[in-house]
Structure 1
Amino acid sequence: MTDDPGDDGPEYDVDFRDHPDAYEIGRGEEGVFKVEPYKSELLPLWSYADEESAEDAAEAIYERYEEYREDDDFPGMDMARKYLQMGYTRAMRYAKYPGGTKYDDDGTEREPEQWADEEKRRAALVFESYWERVREDETYREAKERHRE
């Protein structure tokens, strides 16, 4: 693992499918761009440009989630959940802030608008519905508990 935040390479030198015990759940969307092989499998599916692309992306990511669940692959399940969550949070940022810019040049947080981009809001709501399905899935919750133990 490298500690240099400027390093564009992988954060981990481990295949988490081969070594699921090395996977740490982390907070929120942590690891979405670093945890392999899931990043390479899920990132190409992820898009929130508009409601239609969000629907296609969320459905494809959820299908991967179901495959990971079928294979009892908790790291994959959790990473799919993170990509759905990230679809929601990124699209909602654009929905609330023109151009997705949350902070001014001086670092001051801008006031959110209701709704700066209605299309991004619809995209966010698509992701939210799939993200909720994962969070409420009893198989996911049980696998998460087992993984924490």
Structure 2
Amino acid sequence: MPFDYTLDFRTVDFRQHPELYRVGKGEQGVLLVQPYKGEILPHWRFRTPEVAQESSETIYKLFEAYLEANDFVGADMARKFLQMGFTRSRRYANHKGGKKYDGPVPADKKGQSGAHGRDELPRAPEDPEKAEAARIFKQKWDQAKQHPAYLAQRLEFETRYGK
């Protein structure tokens, strides 16, 4: 099932109501789903390779703790933060200041990814620090999405609550 953006994310506690969670695609909901956003976001940083290493290791430990607690939603959110660490680092590696598209985001498209009719800005020379930060996050993200307990809990979750 697709990610459900119609929920009132200010009031839903997904630890208490995992049945409301949908994996969706990619990073959908990563900055919405509580209490996990509040638990993981303070650790999410990618300014330098050293910061990215510490951040990715901390988030991966949270990922493992969620798996240990049989909390698939938390584990999936940690996986999404690792993925977002990779994608944002790559964006900053390719585009100075992290701005990929030209012009403002249309008001009705705020919070959604994509060009939405805007031109992509030319790539700057690659920032080696951000590229290394991206590599660090990619390694942890790959580790998370292939983790046997994660795969088993995801299958169980999707069987129980729908895809």
Q: Scaled by the length of structure 1, what TM-score is found?
A: 0.89
3-state SS of paired residue (1:119): helix
| Alignment counterpart, residue 118 of structure 1, candidates 120, 125, 128 | 128
Fraction of identical pairs, as percent: 42
Structure 1 residue runs of 4+, over 3 Å off?
Answer: none
8 Å CA contact 2:48–2:130 kept in 1: the answer is yes
Q: How does 1:28-47 map to 2 (within 5 A)?
A: 28-47=26-45
1:145 shift after superposition: 1.1
1:104 shift after superposition: 2.0
Partner of 2:119: 108
Looking at structure 1, the residues matched to 70 and 92 of structure 2 have their Cα atoms a distance apart, in angstroms, of: 35
Partner of 2:95: 97
| Alignment counterpart, residue 22 of structure 1, candidates 16, 20, 23 | 20
Looking at structure 2, the residues matched to 118 and 102 of structure 1 have their Cα atoms a distance apart, in angstroms, of: 17
8 Å CA contact 1:61–1:80 kept in 2: the answer is yes
Q: 1:15 to 1:54 in 2, by over 3 A?
A: same
8 Å CA contact 2:36–2:74 kept in 1: the answer is yes
Where does the alignment leave 5 or more consecutive residues of structure 1 unmatched? 4-9
1:105 shift after superposition: 2.7
8 Å CA contact 1:81–1:131 kept in 2: the answer is yes
**1:94-137 deviation line (CA, Å, top 9, x unaligned):** 0011111111238211233451x110000011100000001111
How many pairs are equivalent?
A: 143
AA in 2 matched with 1:65: F
Looking at structure 2, the residues matched to 138 and 85 of structure 1 have their Cα atoms a distance apart, in angstroms, of: 18
8 Å CA contact 1:47–1:87 kept in 2: the answer is yes
Q: Scaled by the length of structure 2, what TM-score is found?
A: 0.82
Where does the alignment leave 5 or more consecutive residues of structure 2 unmatched? 105-117
